Amino acid sequence: MFQEQLDNGLKVFILPKPQFLRTYAVLSTNYGSIDSQFQLPEQGFVEVPPGIAHFLEHKLFEEEEGNAFDRFAQWGASVNAFTSYTQTSYLFSTIEGWQEALSDLINLVNSPYLTTENVEKEKGIIEQELRMYEDHPDHRIHSVLLENLYHVNPVRIDIGGTVESVRAITVEELFNCYETFYQPGNMAMAVVGDVDSEETLGLIRQNYPTWQHRQGSIERLYPDEPAEVVNPWVEEELNISRPRYLLGFKHEPIWQGERLLRQQIVMSLVWRLVAGRSSQFFGDLYARNLVDDSFGASFNSSPQFAYSVVGSETDNPERLHEELRKIISQLQSSPPSSTDIDRLKRRIYGGHLASYDSFEYVANRLITHYFSQTPYYRFLDLVRDVTVDEIQVALNEQLDWKRSTVSVLRPVQT
């Protein structure tokens, strides 16, 4: 793996993969849906409508003459983009013409073409995207959970915003966000494929335009989030076949750098013990139809927020909740066996090796860890070093019922 920071501040990662035919490249900004308050040189701190990072992602595909899809299509390349809470990424995958596509990707991100007319036009498209998610039970239950776990942290609002907030977005606001967050010093690029590192780096240097807008450190503001949750239990109805249950724990985002990476490993082990198929509890919950194959858990963290979720489709959300309380309490009082932990570590190790075959996964991981300043190269060492005691501490400190919310979706009563 090759990495370098260009003079303009852009961080570049290149991972040569001999024998592979595809080239994948991603150009990302350290800017996502939660970055809604920031400082402008003249105006001081401003707050922009929710959903603006995602809106901007849509709009960068617009060009004065036609749109960017056509330029990638001439190489048969597929191009796409996505926005998360903390990051916006533009990517392509191609067999032919990767050098040209690379330069097209850089241009796409560096030549915004925003007019009142084309911004208005996009609102209809995004409204349909948001409505699609509103019909989606997994998305819905997660949104309701975060709205009730967090009081003010912007992670409580959908990445795409709301139909109303999207309607309010203006060209000027889009430009302000663009000029603040798309400066090369706030961005990173990763290229994976059968490419030569020097050639790739040369192409990026040569094609990356001189940044004409704001430069320098970006002051962002995140509101102070109280420790307690908004609502410990919240229910909604949706047109679904059976109830769904999702439990969330709000964690204090205290970890930075290597400690954050280490905590991610520890929490992934914690949730395997609670909700993995290899956990001693799964069989009983499954046999009683309290969980099904959708049962799963995850730890989601960044320097600005951290929370865990665990959930399933279920016949009985209340009963599942009681059982999870018992399971977690049992794990909190008796340490996991080192046999279990060693086996789970083998799983992480094997999964890590195999992950290098997924270009998308590897490239996005490099960038995410760069933005959150977590030293990913230390991953396997940290996995090896994690102790049973640390897992025990995390179980007791992080799974705090006073900081938990349950989100339940029930079938619409007709």
Partner 1 sequence: MNFVQCNLGAGVRLHMCETDKFKSITCKMFIQQDLQSPTATSTALVPFLVRRGSQNFPSTLQIARELEYLYAADFSSDVLKIGERQILEFYFQMVDASLLPQGEQQLERGLRTFWDIATNPAGPGDAFIEDYFTQEKQSLKQELEGLVNEKRAYALFRSMALMCGEEPFGIYKYGDVDTLASLENRSVYHHFNSLWSQYPLDIFLVGTNLDVAANLFGQLVAKRGAIHKLKLPKRVQVPKSRFIEETTDMQQAIVVLGYRTNCSYLDEDYYALLVGNGILGGFPHSKLFMNVREKASLAYYVGSSIEGSKGLLTITAGINGDSRDQTLQIIQEQLDAIQQGDFSDEELEQTKRGLASAMTSMNDHPAGIIDRNLIGIVHEQMRTIDQVTEAIRQVQKEDVVRVMANVALDTTYVLRAPQQEGDSHGAD
Shortest spacing between CB 277 and partner 1, in angstroms:
4
Closest to partner 1 by CB, 221 vs 353, is 353
Closest to partner 1 by CB, 219 vs 292, is 292
Closest to partner 1 by CB, 35 vs 340, is 340
Q: Which residue numbers are catalytic? A: 57
Shortest spacing between CB 66 and partner 1, in angstroms:
9
The answer for residues whose C-beta is within 8 angstroms of residue 171's C-beta and 6 or more apart is 114, 115, 116, 119
Shortest spacing between CB 232 and partner 1, in angstroms:
26
For partner 1, the binding residues (CB under 8 A) are: 19-22, 67, 69-70, 73-79, 93-96, 121-129, 131-132, 134-137, 239-242, 276-280, 282-283, 286-287, 289, 292-293, 313, 343-344, 346-351, 353-354, 356-357, 359, 412
Shortest spacing between CB 122 and partner 1, in angstroms:
7
Closest to partner 1 by CB, 42 vs 293, is 293
Shortest spacing between CB 301 and partner 1, in angstroms:
22
Closest to partner 1 by CB, 259 vs 277, is 277
